[in-house]
Amino acid sequence: YFYLHFQYNGVFTFGVFALFFHFLEVRGVVIYEFTVRKFRWVLFISCFPAYALSTLWTQPVTVIQFLGMVSALIQVFALGFFIRSFQGTIDNWLKDISTTARILLMLSFMAFVIKLILQLLSSFPSVAMLAYEVRNYVIAYLHLVLIAQISFFLLAWYHEYFNRQVIGKYEVFLIVTGFIVSEIVLISTGWIPTSISHVIIVLASVLMATGLGIIAYRSFYIQSEREFQLPN
């Protein structure tokens, strides 16, 4: 849990936001740097005590539970700084980017907001124990962060920053559909027979893998075509 927490809440999350703000800056979107710095420091400082949220299943002392709840509240508070850092200046930029990137960015942002809400809910001991007892809830949470928040953003960033020819709507549909189906099955533990849920998750994984495979193949094909293209 220590490793996972500082991986997806630390390295991956801060990497995504660094790329996001750099992308806005390159595209000429007005950013309120003072507010961005507030967001960065609040999120950074709260990342350390937020590790307490990953230990609540051990039923620690009250101080640890309180620390987890406070850190979760602080991260929700940081969300306000994030939104205010480009408030009123991002609308035109969203209209300029492709529909594919816009959808992926919106899904990534929604996943981040849901993650913050779930962190706050998990600060309550009863919810923390429920997540510990039903491991599929933990897996669904990790998928929410690693696939939706992180991977969806990286796909949108690559699509807009490097090559719009690589990622198409069909591939995005496969990946997003596979993700949503797998999440529904994971959080529906106990409602769907295990034998059926396993099959559905496999099929959902195949959808996501197919979408990513098409993207990888198309990227390799376009790159190879450029390398072997004769100069005029």
- Percent of the chain at pLDDT above 70? 93
Sign of CA dihedral 111, 14, 152, 90: positive
Average pLDDT over residues 155-178: 86
Residues 6+ apart with CB under 8 A from 213: none
DSSP, residue by residue, 99-148: HHHHHHHHHHHHHHHHHHHHHHHHTSHHHHHHHHH-HHHHHHHHHIIIII
CA count, 13 A, side-chain hemisphere, 13: 25
Q: How confident is the model at residue 164 (pLDDT cuts 50, 70, 90)?
A: low
Q: Residues 48-96: pLDDT tens digits?
A: 999 998 888 778 888 888 998 999 999 999 999 998 888 767 777 777 7
Phi and psi at residue 107, in whole multiples of 5°? -65, -40
Nearest-angstrom CA–CA distance, 230 and 150: 38
DSSP state of 168: -
- pLDDT above 80 for 188: yes
Amino acid found at 207: L
Provide the whole-model pTM. 0.88
Q: How confident is the model at residue 227 (pLDDT cuts 50, 70, 90)?
A: low
In contact, 183 and 144? CB cutoff 8 Å:
yes
- pLDDT at residue 76, rounded to an integer: 92
